[in-house]
Amino acid sequence: MLSTPALVLAIILFGLGLIGLLSRRNILYMLLSLEIMLNAAALAFIAGGARWGQVDGEIMFLFILTLAAAEVSVALGIVLQLSHRFRTLDADAFCEMRG
């Protein structure tokens, strides 16, 4: 099956993204990892669409693309503000909401 390797790739990419997100402390790298995870999910949709011969997968991919673009623009704005306020990009430094 063509879709199986694609799904395996998607899982690997998603895992890499998750590991990056959890292990990186620099918030920019965390955003990059997040992008990888999003694209892995998108790849899974493409593979699914190809497997069933439906356009839905590609439509979802377009949605995810749009969402990723929007997310990045908002996130970068927040990052800018954070670096202004804390003079650092270390995500662990932003822990003022500790319970």
Beta bridge partners of 17: none
Q: How far is the CB of 61 from another protein (least distance, A)?
A: 21
Helix axes 27-52, 56-86, angle to 10 degrees: 180
For another protein, which is the closer residue by CB, 55 or 95? 95
Q: How far is the CB of 55 from another protein (least distance, A)?
A: 27
Q: How far is the CB of 91 from another protein (least distance, A)?
A: 5
Q: What is the 3-state secondary structure (H, E, C) of 79-97?
A: HHHHHHHHCCCEHHHCCCC
* Chain centroid, CA 14 distance in Å: 8
Residue numbers of the site for another protein (CB under 8 A)?
18, 21-22, 25, 30, 91-92, 94-99
For another protein, which is the closer residue by CB, 2 or 96? 96
